[in-house]
Amino acid sequence: MTTPRLGPVRRVAVLADVHGNVPALLAVLDDVHAAGADLIVFPGDLTWGPEPQTTLDLILELGSKAVCVRGNADRAVVELARGEREHTRPRDPWMPAQHTPEAVEFLAALPLNVVIDIEGLGAVRFCHGSPRDDTECVTPQTSTERFAELSEGVDEQVIVTGHTHLQFDRLIAGRRSVNPGSVGLPYHLGMPGTAYWALLGPDVRLRETRYDVQEAVDRCRMTGDPSGDAIVGLLLNPPTPDEIIADAETRVFAD
């Protein structure tokens, strides 16, 4: 699939790993609109959560202002809907049934990478896991050697990833590695009800938005999501960044 290239633009908001958390998404979008972003990039894992279709509807309402990248969970929805993936968890038959056929086709058409020319930063590459694989885990402790390997052949000096639900901004292997954190299911030390995102241009600004986590919990429990109890646990008592980093760096790839 050809990598879409957009820009130049002044300011880009980055909202990764929404995971079907509608209250968090709505709160962040309010802050994004106030910040005057020209584009809103969603680096994957849009709908795999309690309210998949509502989440996608909100993103589609943004029209051409929204730029979406494929995450491994988006790919999973498509594979499950098309019978290309075996059901191994209770959520597997439930999740694709929450998407319209049009939603499945939208997710199926998402690119693995998008490049946007941003004022002050130049060309920035957006992906979910890494430029080469939507399941690769990039963390604040990813080695110089592995980062050089996963970015081989990539021209852009700024690479924005998601997937690990950890917010960070670091220089590594001669490049800038940025993760905006997760909007809908962050792994963090902050208060429950904190959504994480980033604003790019002319520099990188890591942002946080408070939202009503009890509303998210209540809505999750009303949906019938088979993984609802686990999601509520992660919203109210998430794993720490150190726990996630240790696990991710051991596995490297996680679907």
Indicate whether 238 pLDDT > 90.
yes
pLDDT in tens, 116-146: 999 999 999 999 999 999 999 999 999 999 9
Indicate whether 1 pLDDT > 90.
no
Average pLDDT over residues 186-211: 98
pLDDT of res. 212: 98
Report how far residue 235's alpha carbon sits from residue 184's, in angstroms, rounded to the nearest whole number: 8
Average pLDDT over residues 87-110: 97
Report how far residue 215's alpha carbon sits from residue 22's, in angstroms, rounded to the nearest whole number: 9
Mean of per-residue pLDDT scores for the chain: 98
pLDDT of res. 57: 98
Report how far residue 148's alpha carbon sits from residue 103's, in angstroms, rounded to the nearest whole number: 35
Indicate whether 8 pLDDT > 80.
yes
SS3 222: helix
Q: Positive or negative, the Cα torsion across 3, 37, 194, 122?
A: positive
pLDDT in tens, 96-106: 999 999 999 99
Q: Any idea what DSSP says for residue 239?
A: P
Length of the chain, in residues: 255
Report how far residue 89's alpha carbon sits from residue 98's, in angstroms, rounded to the nearest whole number: 16
All structural domains of the chain with their residue ranges: 5-251
Name the pLDDT band for 29 (thresholds 50, 70, 90): very high
Report how far residue 16's alpha carbon sits from residue 43's, in angstroms, rounded to the nearest whole number: 5
Q: Which fold has domain 5-251?
A: Purple Acid Phosphatase; chain A, domain 2 (3.60.21)
Name the pLDDT band for 250 (thresholds 50, 70, 90): very high
Helices (H), 109-252: 144-150, 213-223, 228-236, 241-251
Radius of gyration from C-alpha coordinates of the chain: 17
SS3 78: helix
Q: Is the bond leading into 241 cis (omega within 30 degrees of zero)?
A: no
pLDDT in tens, 167-198: 999 999 999 999 999 999 999 999 999 999 99
pLDDT in tens, 59-87: 999 999 999 999 999 999 999 999 999 99
pLDDT of res. 206: 98
Maximum separation of any 2 CA atoms in the chain, in Å: 47
> In percent, how much of the chain has pLDDT > 90?
99
CB under 8 Å to 24, separation ≥6 — which residues? 18, 183, 184, 195, 209, 211, 216
**C-alpha of 17 from chain center:** 3
